Amino acid sequence: MLYLIFALIALLYAKWVIFAAALLPIRLLKMRSLRRERGRTPAVRPAADAQAPDFMGGGESLSSLLKRYVFGYMRYASFQTGLIPSHHVRDFLYRRVWLVDLAPQAIIYWGAEIRDSQHLHIGRGSIVGDKALLDARNGIRIGCNVNLSSDVHIYTEQHDHRDPWFRCNSDGSFGVTICDRAWIGPDTTLLPGVTVGEGAVVAAGAVVTGDVAPYTIVAGIPARKIGERNRDLRYEFTGRPAPFY
């Protein structure tokens, strides 16, 4: 019976072992991307091309084709990482391959999609609920003992509706910060440039378009203040997740 259990576990994880080995090139690409960013002046981003972006159509060079496939594979692999039925394996890959700054006792539950993971910081004891979308292209900083419920979407990049080519004309100011012990409810959306203050609560289904003051409760679309939260918060999350999930 014991051998049967070990065989079932081996079958369960065999494909994920092969998948993890295939992620090595992604770590090398992430490290290269970080080195290039550190060599660039922090306040300066690459200038937008005056011509139409690739998705507008026209001819495509071999180099552009390869970049598109690499980008697609990385997006696919990032999503698949979130489906691995083991917190230990996922955390190892998030830290060592995807370069997430993941503090001890932080938890990322099943089904997360993380974009530009090297710009994501999650503080000690914080919890990211299942099926979260964390768009860290311009940076996401999550403090300590923060609770993100299921299906939370955080965006730090967006297309400019005023741009003739519909480009993303964003910069570092589009980053999102969530301070200690904030609670972000299920099915909520945080838009670029938002700061959620310490101990604040974002109610279920809200769309946050501006900063949320510490210890306030906001709700609605767009989110508006509806109350105050107790300021005497003492809880510390343990970092013990539900296994597999």
How far the first Cα of the chain sits from its last, in Å, is 25
- 15: tokens are 């494909």
Active site residue 159: yes
Query: DSSP string of 5-37?
Result: HHHHHHHHHHHHHHHHHTTHHHHHHHHHHHHHH
208 near 222, Cβ under 8 Å?
A: yes
Please tell me which residue in 88, 121, 159, 161 is annotated as part of the active site. Answer: 159
* Residues 84, 88, 94, 97, Cα dihedral to 10°: -90
Sign of the CA dihedral 65, 68, 69, 70? Answer: positive
Distance separating alpha carbons of residues 235 and 227, to the nearest angstrom:
21
Question: What's the Cα-to-Cα distance from 22 to each of 31, 74, 212, rounded to whole Å?
Answer: 16, 11, 41
Distance separating alpha carbons of residues 87 and 99, to the nearest angstrom:
16
What φ, ψ does residue 108 adopt, rounded to 5°?
-120, 115
Active site residues: 159
